[in-house]
Amino acid sequence: MEKLIVKGGKRLVGTVKTSGAKNAVLPIIAASIMGTSPSHFDEVPMLEDVRTISEVLRSLGIEVESKEKNCLDIDSTVVESYEPPCELMRNMRASFFVMGPLLARMGKARIYMPGGCAIGARPVDIHLKGFEALGVVLDQQDGFIEATTPNGLKGATIYFDFPSVGATENVMMAAALAEGVTILENAAEEPEIVALASYLNKMGAKIRGAGTDVIRIEGVKELHGADYTIIPDRIEAGTYMIAAAMTGGDVIVDNVLPEHQKPLIAKLREAGAIVEEDIDKVRVIGNGTLKGVSVKTLPYPGFPTDMQPQIAVALGLSGGTSIVTESIFENRFKYVDELTKMGGNVKVEGNTAIIVGVPKYTAANIVAPDLRAGAALVMAGLNADGRTEISGIEFIDRGYQNIEGNLSKCGAKIKRIHIQ
């Protein structure tokens, strides 16, 4: 067991480099299943979730190697199985991404229901409805789904009831090898969708419109492997940007695409922070006590749900009252109990948190309830008097590569300890 120990009160000053995007690399690794020759990836974050999905591919008979730091080589010339092991599937929700590629490559898949962070209902119904529209026959049994394509995958026009990122990606992958044209309407528009489509097109797919709410996919007969560089992680970058603002710091976040950070940059400026944008970096300067602001999470290009806990913790130190509304996941306020232990003044009513700013957080022994909440609580520890101990950090490791090392470069007093 491991814990993070944070001694607060230090202003963050320095430069930190963002890793490749977790939410981009996982579906891209899954998509490599469809290539009949090897793929090579650069800027791969060495995260627990990347290790898990790599194991999922290995269980299918695919060769996965990391010969250099932050690089991954995948040889999917041969795919031996269409049934990933239950224990791997239940470790991580993103393992469900292999369903679309397996249906496209093998014509069938046996998939156990996925696991992951308990941040609310994230049903796979939208994925399944999309697959059925492509001609997939589903047999849902206790804990797993048997999927077959008796007449092959056929292009279709599919309207998503909600612009689900995962469903858009999963169905887009399957449609890349379907017969005919597929139109995805009310599709998710996130940068990670654009990244996946870009990789698929390098493999030989014919996809247009990624990044808009209508995506057109002209099916092809075969895809080959391709080399691809993973885009920067906008959530990791945003976490460091918020940490700089709330500590009154001066931090340059390198390897970031400012156009992906527009909602966050707007809110940081509204709260009183100074934000300077460059081509591939952002500088954030904390300009005294933050002002209270209202934030509502929305699908991209709105404010990302994955940065809601971090901005809420920052606003907990504002000089006023803030309203944070969560419109994506209903259990995204699980960090509030832990923040209250640290002196935070937060009242949750339904999907809204009313946050009254306090001058300082108080050190405490706390538990990370999920990935983004864990990162937010680390940030609270940076602003607390005394020594904060954070357990449950296996959640944090799922989405942040060496968070303690990156924060230490900017002057934070934070270390990882092993507990027997």
Instruction: Please report which confidence band the pLDDT of residue 90 belongs to, taking 50, 70 and 90 as the band edges.
Output: confident
Rg of the chain over Cα atoms, rounded to whole angstroms, equals: 21
Q: How far is CA 80 from CA 59, 60, 64, 84, 241, in A?
A: 9, 6, 14, 11, 44
pLDDT higher than threshold 90 for residue 248 = yes
Tell me which of 20-29, 114-123, 281-290 is least confident: 114-123
Residue 377 one-letter amino acid: L
pLDDT higher than threshold 60 for residue 110 = yes
User: Tens digits of per-residue pLDDT, 183-204?
Assistant: 999 999 999 999 999 999 999 9
3-state secondary structure of 123: coil
> Is the preceding peptide bond at 263 cis, omega within 30 degrees of 0?
no
Contact 54, 28 (CB under 8 A): no
Cα gap 308→246, rounded to integer Å: 14
Q: Percent of the chain, pLDDT > 90?
A: 91
Contact 293, 322 (CB under 8 A): yes
Angle ∠(377,382,388) on CA atoms, nearest 5: 65
3-state secondary structure of 221: coil
Angle ∠(4,10,15) on CA atoms, nearest 5: 85
Instruction: Please report which confidence band the pLDDT of residue 145 belongs to, taking 50, 70 and 90 as the band edges.
Output: very high
Cα gap 176→197, rounded to integer Å: 10
In this prediction, residue 210 carries a pLDDT of 98
Cα gap 227→314, rounded to integer Å: 39
In this prediction, residue 117 carries a pLDDT of 58
Q: Across residues 241-267, what is the average pLDDT?
A: 98
Alpha-helical runs (H) found in 154-307: 165-175, 191-202, 234-246, 262-270
Angle ∠(81,108,170) on CA atoms, nearest 5: 100
Measured from the Cβ of residue 77, the count of other Cβ atoms closer than 10 Å reads 12
Which tokens is 106 given? 């093998």
Which tokens is 163 given? 């612009």
Instruction: Please report which confidence band the pLDDT of residue 92 belongs to, taking 50, 70 and 90 as the band edges.
Output: confident
- Residue 301 CA neighbour count, 13 Å, CB half: 12
Nearby residues of 17 by Cβ (< 8 Å), 6 or more positions away = 253, 254, 255, 406
Q: Across residues 265-282, what is the average pLDDT?
A: 98
Nearby residues of 112 by Cβ (< 8 Å), 6 or more positions away = 84, 86, 89, 90, 143, 144
List where CATH 3.65.10.10 sits in the chain. 2-18+232-418, 22-229
In this prediction, residue 118 carries a pLDDT of 52
Q: Percent of the chain, pLDDT > 70?
A: 98
User: Tens digits of per-residue pLDDT, 335-349?
Assistant: 999 999 999 999 999
| 117: annotated active-site residue | yes
Q: Which residues pair with 403 in a beta bridge?
A: none
Write down the pTM of the prediction.
0.95
Nearby residues of 135 by Cβ (< 8 Å), 6 or more positions away = 149, 150, 151, 152, 153, 154, 156, 178
Contact 65, 72 (CB under 8 A): yes
Instruction: Please report which confidence band the pLDDT of residue 115 belongs to, taking 50, 70 and 90 as the band edges.
Output: low
Q: Across residues 260-266, what is the average pLDDT?
A: 98
In this prediction, residue 102 carries a pLDDT of 98
Cα gap 192→22, rounded to integer Å: 9
User: Tens digits of per-residue pLDDT, 359-392?
Assistant: 999 999 999 999 999 999 999 999 999 999 999 9
In this prediction, residue 122 carries a pLDDT of 52
CATH class, 22-229 region: alpha beta
Which tokens is 142 given? 């206790």
Q: How far is CA 60 from CA 74, 100, 103, in A?
A: 12, 14, 13
3-state secondary structure of 43: coil
Identify the helix (H) or strand (E) that includes residue 105: helix 99-106
Which tokens is 342 given? 């640290």
pLDDT higher than threshold 60 for residue 411 = yes
Strands 321-325 and 294-296: parallel
Q: What is the DSSP letter of 10?
A: P
Q: Across residues 66-76, what is the average pLDDT?
A: 97
In this prediction, residue 141 carries a pLDDT of 86
Instruction: Please report which confidence band the pLDDT of residue 297 belongs to, taking 50, 70 and 90 as the band edges.
Output: very high
Catalytic residue, from 71, 86, 117, 410: name it: 117
Alpha-helical runs (H) found in 286-326: 308-315
- The mean pLDDT of the chain is 95
Measured from the Cβ of residue 223, the count of other Cβ atoms closer than 10 Å reads 27
pLDDT higher than threshold 80 for residue 119 = no
Which tokens is 293 given? 């602001």
3-state secondary structure of 369: coil
Instruction: Please report which confidence band the pLDDT of residue 91 belongs to, taking 50, 70 and 90 as the band edges.
Output: confident
- Choose which CATH entry (3.30.70.60, 3.20.20.70, 2.40.160.40, 3.65.10.10) describes domain 2-18+232-418: 3.65.10.10
Longest dimension (CA), the chain: 64
In this prediction, residue 288 carries a pLDDT of 87
